[in-house]
Structure 1
Amino acid sequence: MRHTFTILLAGFACGLLSGTAAASSEMDAIAKYRELLADGNPSELVAAQGEELWKTKRGPQQASLERCDLGLGPGVIKGAYAKMPRYFKDTGRVQDLESRLMTCMENLQGIEPKSIVDGKFLKGEREKVAALVAYVVTESNGARIDVDMRHPEMKKMYEMGKMAFYFRAGPMDFSCATCHGEEGKRIRMQDLPDLRTQKGAAAGWGSWPAYRVSNGEFWTMQHRLNDCFRQQRLPEPIYGSDVTIALSVYLAATAKGGTMLTPGIKR
Structure 2
Amino acid sequence: MRILRFVCVALPLQAVCALALAQSSATDEIAKYRQMLADGNPAELWEMRGEELWKKKAGPNKVSLEQCDFGKGPGMLKGAYAELPRYFKDVGKVMDLEQRLVYCRMTLQGLSLAEATRVPFGSTGKQSDIEALVAYITSESRGVPMAVSTNHPMEKQAYEAGRQLFFYRGGAHDFACATCHSTTGQRIRLQELPNILDKANAQAAYTTWPAYRVSQGEVRTMQHRLYDCFRQQRFPEPLYASDAITAITMFLAKNANGGVYAGPALKR
Q: Distance in 2 between matches of 1:20 and 1:135?
A: 39
Deviates more, 1:26-35 or 1:209-218: 26-35
Q: Given the alignment of the two structures, is residue 53 of structure 1 paired with residue 53 of structure 2, yes or no?
A: yes
How far 1:190 sits from its partner (Å)? 2.8
Gaps of 5+ in 2: 1-11
What are the residue-to-residue correspondences of 1:19-98 with 2, within 5 Å?
A: 19=19, 21-98=21-98
1:180 is matched with 181
1:134 is matched with 135
- The amino acid across from 1:177 in the alignment is A
Q: Percent identity?
A: 51
Q: Given the alignment of the two structures, is residue 162 of structure 1 paired with residue 163 of structure 2, yes or no?
A: yes
2:244 is matched with 243
- Decide whether aligned partners of structure 1 residues 118 and 55 sit closer, same or farther in structure 2, where only a CA change above 3 A counts: closer
Q: Distance in 1 between matches of 2:67 and 2:16?
A: 62
How far 1:19 sits from its partner (Å)? 4.7
Q: Distance in 1 between matches of 2:105 and 2:217?
A: 27
- Decide whether aligned partners of structure 1 residues 90 and 29 sit closer, same or farther in structure 2, where only a CA change above 3 A counts: same
- Decide whether aligned partners of structure 1 residues 133 and 26 sit closer, same or farther in structure 2, where only a CA change above 3 A counts: closer
How far 1:39 sits from its partner (Å)? 3.8
Provide TM-score, normalisation by structure 1: 0.89
- Decide whether aligned partners of structure 1 residues 184 and 15 sit closer, same or farther in structure 2, where only a CA change above 3 A counts: closer
- Considering only aligned residues, what root-mean-square deviation do their CA atoms show, in Å? 2.1
Conservation of the 8 A alpha-carbon contact between 1:98 and 1:240: yes
SS of 1:199's equivalent in the other structure is helix
1:6 is matched with none
Deviates more, 1:79-88 or 1:18-27: 18-27
Q: Output one character per residue of 1:77-108: Cα deviation in whole Å (capped at 9) or x when no partner.
A: 11110010000000111000011111111111
Count of residue correspondences? 256
Gaps of 5+ in 1: 1-11
1:4 is matched with none
1:253 is matched with 254
- The amino acid across from 1:144 in the alignment is P
Return the index of the structure with the highest Cα Rg: 1
How far 1:32 sits from its partner (Å)? 2.6
Q: Distance in 1 between matches of 2:126 and 2:84?
A: 22
How far 1:23 sits from its partner (Å)? 4.3
